[in-house]
Amino acid sequence: MSSSLRPIAPPTSLMEVTVDRIRDAIIAGELPLGCKLSEQRLADMFGISRSPVRDALAALQMEGLVTISPKRGSFVFTPDLKAVDEICEHRCILEKAAVRKAIAINHAGLIKSLTAACKTMTEASQRGNALDYTKGDIDFHNSVIRSGGNHSIISSYKRTIGPLMALRTHLFTIMNETLERSMNEHLALLDACRRKKIEDAERLIDEHAAHLVDAYRTALAETSLFDGLSTGAA
């Protein structure tokens, strides 16, 4: 109750927070796959003008989360099976290159960040919280990439896995089956990194990616059953 008359003093631009809000809504499943994203509707939903919404949609297209058809509108990106395969293959290539470099030039930082991520995942696993586990999972893979130190790859990786974001939510439902195996795979990779076994680390990344493809394909198959166009729930 001081002199701060401005409860919301956004240091970042309105467009930036709009990007975050739409991205969160997509990841949370409030804006389902293939959902039409009307500029006017989103503007009304957030109580702002169409301009920042338009800029935000362009930025999200850059991240691979939405697709924009000229003169037709924006839609939540829906990857098909082929796209999932290609994205996972691409992701696997980047991770293997990053882990190889990280072990060589940034071993301490790699182990530290990977250990922290594994700690988060272990705790979430014990509590049976798939959402927190997945956040730790994302942290783990981001740590691998970031430890590689190549900024070009870091930014590319972010855009690469973007199209899979909308599938993440549906991955939670089947995660329980594969959670234990996933946990063991991450721990094995951490161990290989700690012992600087590059060959083993790359092999483990390959195997992990293969399992990930299966999970995403299953999630995609489930979501395709809906096949409906929802307007998005509150």
Partner DNA sequence: GATCGCAAACTAACATGGTACATGGCAGAT
Partner DNA sequence: ATCTGCCATGTACCATGTTAGTTTGCGATC
Provide the Cα torsion 149, 155, 156, 160; round to 10°. Answer: 120
Residue of the chain from 1, 3, 71, 151 that contacts DNA (CB under 7 A): 71
Closest distance to DNA from the beta carbon of 160 (Å): 24
Please report how many Cα atoms fall inside a 13 Å half-sphere around the Cα of residue 74, on the Cβ side. 23
Closest distance to its own copies from the beta carbon of 91 (Å): 8
Give the CA angle between residues 11, 13, 14 to the nearest 5°. Answer: 115
Q: Which is nearer to its own copies, 125 or 143 (CB)?
A: 143
- For position 52 contacting DNA by CB under 7 A, the verdict is yes
Residue of the chain from 67, 120, 129, 156 that contacts its own copies (CB under 8 A): 156
Residues 99-138 within binding reach of its own copies (CB under 8 A): none
Candidate ranges 36-44, 146-154, 184-192, 225-233; the one touching its own copies (CB under 8 A): 146-154
Give me the amino acid identity at 164.
Answer: L
Residue of the chain from 25, 30, 39, 154 that contacts DNA (CB under 7 A): 39
Let me know if 55 is exposed, middle or buried by CB neighbors in 10 A (0-12, 13-18, 19+): middle
Long-range contacts of 154-160 (CB under 8 A, 24+ apart): 156/94, 157/91, 157/94, 157/98, 158/63, 159/62, 159/63, 159/64, 160/64, 160/87, 160/90, 160/91, 160/94
- For position 55 contacting DNA by CB under 7 A, the verdict is yes
Candidate ranges 91-99, 105-113, 120-128, 182-190; the one touching its own copies (CB under 8 A): 91-99
- For position 49 contacting DNA by CB under 7 A, the verdict is yes
Assign 196 to helix, strand or coil: coil
With CB cut-offs between 5 and 8 Å by kind, which of DNA, its own copies, none does residue 68 bind? DNA
- For position 41 contacting DNA by CB under 7 A, the verdict is yes
With CB cut-offs between 5 and 8 Å by kind, which of its own copies, DNA, none does residue 156 bind? its own copies
